[in-house]
Amino acid sequence: MSELYATIQTPTVKYEQPLGLFINNEFVKGSSGKTFETINPTNEKVITSVYEANEKDVDIAVEAARKAFEGEWSRVTPTERGRLLVKLADLFERDYETLVAIEVLDNGKPLMLAKGDVTHSIGCLRYYGGWADKVHGQTIDTNVDTLTYTRHEPIGVCGQIIPWNFPLQMWAWKIAPAVATGNTVVLKTAEQTPLSALYAAKLIVEAGFPPGVINIISGFGRVAGAAISSHMDIDKVAFTGSTAVGRTVMQAAAKSNLKKVTLELGGKSPNIVFDDADIDNAISWANFGIFYNHGQCCCAGSRILVQEGIYDKFVARMKERAGQNKVGDPFHDETFQGPQVSQLQFDRIMGYIEEGKAEGATVAIGGDRHGSEGFFIQPTVFTDVTQDMKIAQEEIFGPVVTIQKFKDEAEAIRIGNGTSYGLAAGIHTKSINTAIRVSNALRAGTVWVNNYNMLSYQVPFGGFKESGIGRELGSYALENYTQIKAVHIRTADALFG
């Protein structure tokens, strides 16, 4: 028992951390017994080690999920599925402080942001708990002698692969709609941040879910993730992460059993500021748009486009605002930006900063490491940026923003649409006509007007172009986890001759 749990003390709570693979409602060591370390990005020290899943463990988890889907879970009513999700949300709420502390410890997410993530996760579980008994088909009048109707049925066993930037929130985004619609799940966490997902798995048992309905494994993408993507007995795979890995997931799904795929991928989102914008409001949201979650956000407003009439004023104000962001210990209440999640991410971001300098962009503020311990990077603002620069085209996924100048609305749209991504965009203007015209013209799945990075579990989220396939959240996410069956019943005695 002790090998499957560790006692962890954080600055705010002391708790028991599950370490095993969660399969069939039990924590187990896995077939190899191998473990891997999870690192505290604030001080670069080992928090604990968790058990690592391999291909055989994926097989075992899928078998458990299949048995549940075809057995006990298939007889659970939609109303009961909803009740279980709401009960799980209640347990999240009871253990709120613990879940918040785990996110801060394992991810480096500031306390204020971790609280928002856990609150959002609770709301998401409750939201889909409410949807569980409201997914239904239609009756269609095709013929006087025929009863024709449609059924929205669960797809089956769903493989889900989540990222490290919003560990618990992505857990809820994936699991809640899948379970609400009657599917079973095998979910792989990101190897950088397995802890909150495993703690939440403990609550699944307490909530009363039957064994095998939700299975949570820790492991590496090249092994466990690849096994999920290519597994012949997984009916659907959902992935959130980089566009490059998303392509690999889709290829593996196609080469195996042509399983259904949804992908929520990268972004290089424009945040457009027009001359008539309320500059105080625009600066505030531009700062939040990029430095929220340390820039580790797929929809981050990482390209700020400013109309030439206010460009110089905006740059000066943005430089001042970025310098006010509190960077440091994520357990401190005043901290806005904590460390990047890992050494790998730190090195990658610093590489982009050096690339930007080499390409001729100007570092208006930041551009270096913050402190001497942990994976902290200064909030960084680049000016004198041109559209062909790598820092204006590629996703950096860190606290780095570029500012470009534009002349008119047409140029703003051209630059805004000028990457391979299409996840999100922002517009700042006092003109409703400008807001509507530009919103319609931008090739992005989400457009914020006079705000940025405001997400709700009630509203669909997903991308155009290389930013993904399908939609998370809202009623639209239910479509990812159901398939439609048409039934034709001949009611008259006579048959066609």
Active site residues: 264
Helix (H) or strand (E) holding 27: strand 26-28
Residue ranges of alpha helices (H) inside 47-183 are 55-70, 78-94, 96-107, 111-131, 167-180
d(C-alpha 4, C-alpha 33), whole Å: 11
Kindly provide the residue ranges of all beta strands, DSSP E only, lying in 144-299, ordered along the sequence: 146-154, 157-161, 184-188, 214-217, 236-240, 260-264, 270-273
Instruction: Give how far Cα 239 sits from Cα of 70, 193, 335, 347, 474, Å.
Output: 24, 16, 30, 24, 17
d(C-alpha 82, C-alpha 60), whole Å: 27
d(C-alpha 62, C-alpha 256), whole Å: 15
d(C-alpha 416, C-alpha 177), whole Å: 32
The closest alpha carbon to 215, from 224, 261, 192, 99, belongs to 224
CA dihedral 458, 464, 470, 472 (to 10 degrees): -30
Instruction: Give how far Cα 209 sits from Cα of 125, 212, 214, 413, Å.
Output: 14, 8, 8, 49
The owner of tokens 């998370």 is 472
Dig out the tokens for 436 from the structure.
Answer: 């509507």
Judged by DSSP in three states, 385 sits in: coil
d(C-alpha 33, C-alpha 69), whole Å: 27
